[in-house]
């Protein structure tokens, strides 16, 4: 009988490295996007009987995401083919992409992209009010940009997407400088509530905003005048409020496109991604919420 072993047992194994973990759990992480670092560490321990550090788990998430979606550089290389596929599957669609010349490599670098479906253009003209709103959100990643979305207002007060773009910035004043502008009530209140944080001010602000309607049904005085002239109020309403216009707004459909493997490979030189912009400070993982905005996971309305 040999000598007894008094070595301590360890649950850390060098074979459980980043490459193995990302390949082994790639499909699992693809289907479970809400998995947390702590939950993933526990799963690895129960299934493989090994322990991994928080840093290893975080790096595994990043590597698995890279295996699933590919690198940012490869995504930008497919943009010309993607634009061509959109134009092929949706006739009348507007797709416009611009590039800039890179001074170092001499190749074309992505600058901006604009996309508008023909079905959405027709639906907006027929079934929406003559109001266009522009909303934006910040895109996260190594190439931060702003995604702008042009939306209309349906007769039922629902938003109706019209077009979206990346890299355009605020170009409305340059294209249509004399058009009337309105601002989002929520953003106006957020800019003022630091100086006026009281709830009574907020209630009065929103009450005034609701009374100031850009468009809407005829008021009681207009209806009285129309009745006095033996007319019908429906004859003086905008056509977008009719049932026919409502159905016509959703009459046209957006055709789906094929997967990247079926796209036609163009002879154009693939574009380079925008230059990386590294902001000062530690990268933020969560969106900054307003002081009166409900926190994540709370039941507050």
Query: Cβ neighbours of residue 236 under 8 Å, at least 6 residues apart?
Result: 218, 222, 226
Residue 42 lies in a domain: yes
Residue 185 lies in a domain: no
Residue 103 lies in a domain: no
Residue 23 lies in a domain: yes
- Answer whether 131's CB lies under 8 Å from 152's CB: yes
Q: What are phi and psi of 164, to 5 degrees?
A: -145, 155
- Answer whether 76's CB lies under 8 Å from 273's CB: yes
Residue of 138, 133, 137, 166 whose CA lies nearest to 151: 133
In whole angstroms, what is the distance from residue 293 CA to residue 297 CA?
Answer: 12
Residue 32 lies in a domain: yes
Query: Cβ neighbours of residue 163 under 8 Å, at least 6 residues apart?
Result: 94, 114, 115, 116, 117, 120, 121, 149, 150
Domain count, the chain: 1
Residue 28 lies in a domain: yes
Q: What's the pLDDT at 301? A: 46
The domain in which residue 59 lies consists of: 18-70
Residue 84 lies in a domain: no
Q: What's the pLDDT at 282? A: 72
Q: What's the pLDDT at 114? A: 93
Q: What is the pTM (predicted TM-score) of this model?
A: 0.70
pLDDT tens, residue order, the chain (301 aa)? 556 666 656 667 778 888 899 999 999 998 998 899 999 999 999 998 889 999 999 999 989 988 888 888 888 999 999 999 999 998 888 999 999 998 888 889 999 999 999 999 999 988 888 888 888 888 877 788 888 899 998 877 788 999 999 977 656 667 767 766 666 777 777 777 777 777 777 787 777 766 655 444 456 777 788 888 888 877 877 788 888 888 888 888 899 999 888 888 888 889 999 887 776 777 666 767 766 666 665 555 4
Number of H helices, E strands in the chain: 12, 5
Alpha-carbon torsion, ordered 7, 12, 14, 18, to 10 deg: 180
Q: What's the pLDDT at 43? A: 92
Residue 250 lies in a domain: no
- Answer whether 47's CB lies under 8 Å from 40's CB: no
For helices 54-69 and 37-48, angle between their N-to-C axes, nearest 10 degrees:
90
């Amino acid at each position: 009988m040999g000598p007894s072993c008094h070595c301590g047992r360890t649950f850390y194994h060098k074979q459980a490295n980043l490459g193995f973990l990302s390949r082994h759990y790639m499909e699992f992480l693809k289907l479970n996007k809400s998995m947390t670092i702590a939950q993933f560490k526990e799963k690895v321990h129960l299934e493989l009987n090994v322990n991994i550090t928080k840093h290893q788990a975080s790096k595994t998430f990043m590597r698995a995401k890279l295996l699933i979606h590919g690198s940012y550089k490869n995504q930008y290389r497919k943009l010309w083919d993607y634009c061509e596929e959109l134009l092929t599957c949706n006739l009348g669609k507007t797709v416009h992409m611009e590039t800039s010349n890179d001074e170092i490599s001499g190749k074309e670098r992505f600058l901006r992209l604009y996309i508008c479906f023909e079905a959405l253009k027709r639906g907006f003209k027929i079934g929406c009010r003559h109001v266009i709103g522009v909303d934006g959100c910040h895109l996260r990643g190594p190439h931060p940009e702003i995604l702008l979305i042009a939306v209309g207002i349906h007769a039922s007060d629902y938003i109706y997407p019209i077009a979206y773009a990346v890299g355009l910035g605020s170009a409305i004043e340059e294209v249509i400088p004399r058009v009337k502008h309105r601002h989002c009530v929520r953003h106006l209140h957020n800019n003022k509530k630091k100086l006026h944080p009281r709830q009574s001010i907020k209630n009065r602000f929103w009450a005034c905003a609701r009374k100031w309607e850009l468009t809407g049904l005829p008021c009681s005085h207009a209806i009285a005048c129309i009745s006095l002239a033996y007319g019908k109020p429906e004859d003086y309403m905008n056509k977008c409020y009719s049932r026919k216009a409502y159905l016509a707004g959703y009459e046209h459909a957006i055709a789906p496109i094929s997967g990247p493997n079926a796209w036609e490979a163009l002879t154009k030189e693939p574009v380079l991604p925008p230059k990386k912009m590294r902001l000062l400070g530690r990268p933020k993982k969560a969106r900054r919420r307003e002081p009166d905005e409900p926190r994540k996971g709370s039941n507050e309305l």
